[in-house]
């Protein structure tokens, strides 16, 4: 049987949508390989998280316990997961391609000397995977040859798994770690708090580009639109590189990949790097004064206009509708 272990990334005992996407992909792999799908949890709040993920269709939840796993450190987590894979005989180790997943899974693959497929978007009946290449301009079918396969899933490629009526059993396992081989040390965790939705979780994303010209314009022009729409704020790489906004807002191939119900691109030309991170959005609206901008090639609705005039008008129109 081809059992699947899913690394269930959580935040203080609660799961983001991206983890539920990974579980859904893991369940699909397990069905096609006639195996079971098991969720693996570690870190602070793991017990609460285990009780929650047990309701999402997995066969079992494994909680890896060790004080050195309380905070995410990739070397300790990779070592613990490698030992668990060997003891369970699992065929596939799967995680979402988040910052944590991208940090952890390649280390695990190297430790296991196992083949890896990154950011898959589909699972074929023959056990092969499909992943985008060249910023999504080509799709490759990947076959992983080995007793263990390591896979990361694009967080927008599958639907989030739905809860079930029954809960899976939870097993606590003492992690096998060699203290002498651990080189990383947890120093601190600085969380950026915001009243807005998280970028990868939001139903609506409003992103700004270089056309906004300054960080101050992000605050005075774009933020009112973001807040009026109840959206998350994003940005293009050009805006981040120019120092207008911090890089945790970057949408694109080297930033976050999003697929909200509505994506509004303001002053973004639409370089291929940016399109790779948002073109799967359900509805795309583009505002740009250049009618030849590439963003219009993927937009469902396009407005050729000066954003400094159009955006404030949109904000006023929404205020009138609400009041």
DSSP readout, 66-80? -GGGSS--HHHHHHH
Question: DSSP letter at 321?
Answer: H
Q: What percent of the chain is modeled with pLDDT above 90?
A: 81
88 phi, psi to nearest 5 deg = -90, -20
| Alpha-carbon distance values, 100 to 7, 39, 72, 96 (Å) | 10, 16, 8, 8
Residue 14 has pLDDT above 90, yes or no: no
Model confidence pLDDT, tens digit, residues 212-234: 999 999 999 999 999 999 999 99
Residue 190 pLDDT class (50, 70, 90 cuts): confident
Question: What are the pLDDT digits (tens) for 88-110?
Answer: 999 999 999 998 999 999 999 99
Q: Encoding tokens for residue 150?
A: 């390591």
235-279 pLDDT, tens digit per residue, is 999 999 999 999 999 999 889 999 999 999 999 999 999 999 999
In this predicted structure, the answer to whether residue 316 has a pLDDT above a threshold of 90 is: yes
> ∠ CA 90-58-47 to the nearest 5 degrees?
95
pLDDT at position 11 is 82
- pLDDT, residue 1, reads 61
Q: In which band, very low, low, confident or very high, does the pLDDT at 195 lie, cut at 50, 70 and 90?
A: confident
């Amino acid at each position: 049987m081809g059992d699947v272990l899913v690394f269930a990334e959580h935040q203080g005992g609660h799961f983001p949508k991206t983890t539920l996407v990974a579980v859904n992909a893991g369940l699909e792999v397990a069905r096609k390989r006639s195996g079971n799908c098991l969720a693996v949890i570690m870190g602070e709040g793991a017990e609460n998280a285990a009780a929650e993920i047990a309701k999402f269709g997995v066969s079992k939840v494994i909680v890896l316990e060790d004080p050195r796993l309380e905070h995410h450190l990739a070397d300790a987590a990779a070592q613990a997961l490698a030992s668990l894979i060997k003891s369970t005989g699992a065929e596939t180790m799967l995680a979402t391609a988040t910052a944590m997943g991208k940090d952890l899974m390649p280390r695990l693959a190297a430790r296991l000397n196992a083949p890896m497929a990154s950011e898959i978007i589909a699972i074929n009946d023959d056990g092969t995977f499909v992943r985008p290449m060249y910023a999504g301009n080509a799709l490759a079918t990947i076959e992983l040859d080995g007793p263990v396969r390591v896979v990361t899933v694009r967080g927008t490629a599958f639907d989030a798994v739905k809860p079930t009526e029954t809960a899976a059993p939870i097993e606590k396992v003492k992690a096998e770690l060699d203290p002498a081989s651990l080189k990383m040390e947890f120093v601190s965790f600085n969380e950026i708090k915001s009243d807005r939705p998280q970028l990868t979780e939001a139903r609506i994303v409003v992103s700004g580009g270089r056309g906004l010209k300054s960080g101050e314009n992000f605050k005075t022009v774009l933020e009112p639109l973001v807040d009026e729409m109840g959206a998350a704020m994003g940005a293009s790489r050009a805006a981040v590189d120019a120092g207008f906004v911090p890089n945790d807002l970057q949408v694109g191939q080297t930033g976050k990949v999003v697929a909200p119900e509505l994506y509004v691109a303001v002053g973004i030309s639409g370089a291929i790097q940016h399109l790779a991170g948002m073109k799967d959005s359900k509805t795309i609206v583009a505002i740009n004064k250049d009618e030849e901008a590439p963003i219009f090639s993927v937009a469902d609705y396009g407005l050729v206009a000066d954003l400094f005039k159009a955006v404030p008008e949109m904000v006023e129109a929404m205020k009138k509708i609400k009041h």
